[in-house]
Homo-oligomer: A and B are copies of this chain.
Amino acid sequence: MFETMHVRSGRPWLLDDHLDRMAGSAARLDLDLPPRAELVGLADTLCAQWPAGTEGALKIICTRGPEDGDGITCYGTLTAVPDSTHAVRRNGLRLGTLNLGLASDARSAAPWLLGGAKTLSYAMNMACQRWAAAAGLDDVLWVSSDGYLLEAPTSTLVWLEHRTLYTVPQATGILSGTTARWLLDHVDALGWHAGERMVRQDELERASGVWLTSSVRGIVAVRELDGVKFTEPAPTETLRDLLGFQA
């Protein structure tokens, strides 16, 4: 399993939330993580030399290795935020939908499908993003077989309707987005409410703003979905400021 964090002012943002999620992934994989202090130490060591004024992407990876191996290996990397991330923050995203083949309630009843776990098994996630690139798009949004929008391969869907910021319920088996969760916990500062609900594509087209959130990109406006242009969402800057990201 792995976690990727935004490094700002020389520190990983939301480190505790990410390590909580990693503990949840480990439980779903029947894997014992090292003591939390060890993972915090790994993050500290990597961040120690990082220039305070520079954004970074910190990745912590823990793996069992071969199924018959015992123990667990954890390591980390810290890299600069690529130019493409800055470009997408400015320009927003053109998305296409891809059917995930699973019903929106399939994973809640089937823990062996590992819904909600952030494992290293990302072949399909990456195949979907390559599909997007080949179609001249920036990313994809997964749709359940019963027609609900779920999440993107590496980010979380949030949208605004009548001063309520929504995301998709966990019961669909999506990954719990740390950035989205923090945002929903703090939108009362803007006088908004936070909500969770299932959403269909035609409903999303009528929202007053649609975004993807993720740890390193922060919050990025969705400008197009399956060829339908979305209104430029007025509050993108406000939400990005609230989250503490630069454009």
Contacts and interface: CB of A to CB of B under 8 A. Distances in A.
Contact of A29 (B98, B99, B100, B123): B123
Contacts of A100: 113
A247 interface: no
A51 to B, nearest CB: 22
A127 B102 contact: no
Contact of A112 (B98, B113, B145): B98
Copy total for this chain: 2
A99 B105 CA distance: 12
A82 to B, nearest CB: 8
A186 interface: no
B113 A67 contact: no
A107 B107 CA distance: 17
Contacts of A114: 123-124, 127
A123 B117 contact: yes
A75 interface: no
Interface of A: 28-30, 67, 98-103, 106-107, 109-114, 117, 119-124, 126-131, 140, 145
7 contacts: A67-B126, A111-B131, A112-B131, A112-B140, A119-B123, A119-B124, A120-B121
